[in-house]
Amino acid sequence: MTIKEFDIQNALGSLSYTMKIKLAINFNTPTEILTKLLIDKDNIVRYHIANNSNASVKILTILSKDKDYYVRCWVACNPNTPKEILTILSKDKNFHVRDVVNIKKHKETHT
């Protein structure tokens, strides 16, 4: 899907939930489309964006502040997440997010 096609379908409200998920999961989805999907109200869409290895540092930074802790957990798991964001997430109010960061740090130091 091109960015123009995305914009038209999104503006018309004809972009289905399934298509949003497919776009969020696809590693070939342009960063511009992933960025536009960030405002989706469905946490599952944002969760898949956070897990996408094509997600930019800007996207991951925004998602690191997401209200849903599952989204923040997947930001911590993403290999593109900068250490500065991991440091912030290591102090997250939710223990699941903190645990994911600690496990990632442990794996990095023991491989």
Q: What is the DSSP string of 20-69?
A: HHHHHH-TTS-HHHHHHHTT-S-HHHHHHHHT-TT--HHHHHHHTT-SSH
Q: Alpha-carbon distance 80 to 13, whole Å?
A: 31
Q: Which of 52, 54, 96, 55 is nearest to 73 (CA)?
A: 96
Domain range for 42 is 3-109
Q: What is the rounded average pLDDT for all residues in the chain? A: 92
pLDDT of 2 reads 81
Q: What is the CATH classification number for the domain harbouring 37? A: 1.25.10.10
pLDDT of 22 reads 95
pLDDT of 111 reads 64
The parts of the chain modelled with pLDDT lower than 50 are none
Domain count, the chain: 1
pLDDT of 70 reads 96
